[in-house]
Amino acid sequence: MAESLTAAVTILRNNKLKLTKQRHALLEFLLTNQGHYTDVVAVDAYMRTEFPGMSHNTVYRNLKEFEEVGIVEQNTEQERARVKYQCDFHHQHHHHFICQHCGKVIELQMCPMDFFTDQLPGAEITGHSFELYGLCAECKAAGVSDQDLVKN
């Protein structure tokens, strides 16, 4: 965890963003929950508990700045914004498998874009988003069934 925090602090400094006590607390919260996406509302509630005078705008602005410099990843589920600490600072472009039972996020090591590019000769793809959903190995081994899943 200390190595990840050091990497995030370096990214902040390289992007001329100060490491305030609020940002430090936000980084620690995100690191503690790095294996899952966390609803932005829950992040906001935590930060406002830790820093009662902190505004909603400050929390959301810091999350947006963290996303812009690559410290957090954002995801939207059922129109609710969620964030998680960056999986891999060396490979910012990556995709995930998300367990629909426990919420665990597993980084995928390949991008499927070559498959689609080959099917669209002459087209210009300007962006994409790719996530897989299902049961992680632990949930499957525990006997979780598809009736127990949160549908996306």
Domains 2-85 and 95-148 share a fold: no
Domain-by-domain residue ranges, the chain?
Answer: 2-85, 95-148
What is the rounded CA–CA span in Å between residue 76 and residue 86? 16
What is the rounded CA–CA span in Å between residue 131 and residue 81? 15
Quote the pLDDT of residue 59: 95
pLDDT higher than threshold 70 for residue 1 = no
Q: Which CATH number, 3.40.50.2300, 3.30.390.30, 3.30.1490.190, 3.40.50.360, labels domain 95-148?
A: 3.30.1490.190
pLDDT higher than threshold 60 for residue 15 = yes
pLDDT tens track for 36-91 = 888 999 999 999 999 999 999 999 999 999 989 988 888 877 778 888 877 555 55
Q: Which residues contact 136 (CB under 8 A, 6 or more apart)?
A: 97, 99, 101, 102, 104, 106
Tell me which residue of 65, 64, 85 sits closest to 73, measured CA to CA. 85
Q: Which helix (H) or strand (E) holds 140?
A: helix 137-141
pLDDT tens track for 79-136 = 788 888 775 555 556 777 778 888 788 777 777 777 778 888 888 887 777 777 888 8
Architecture of domain 2-85: Orthogonal Bundle (1.10)
pLDDT tier, 152 (very low <50, low <70, confident <90, very high otherwise):
very low
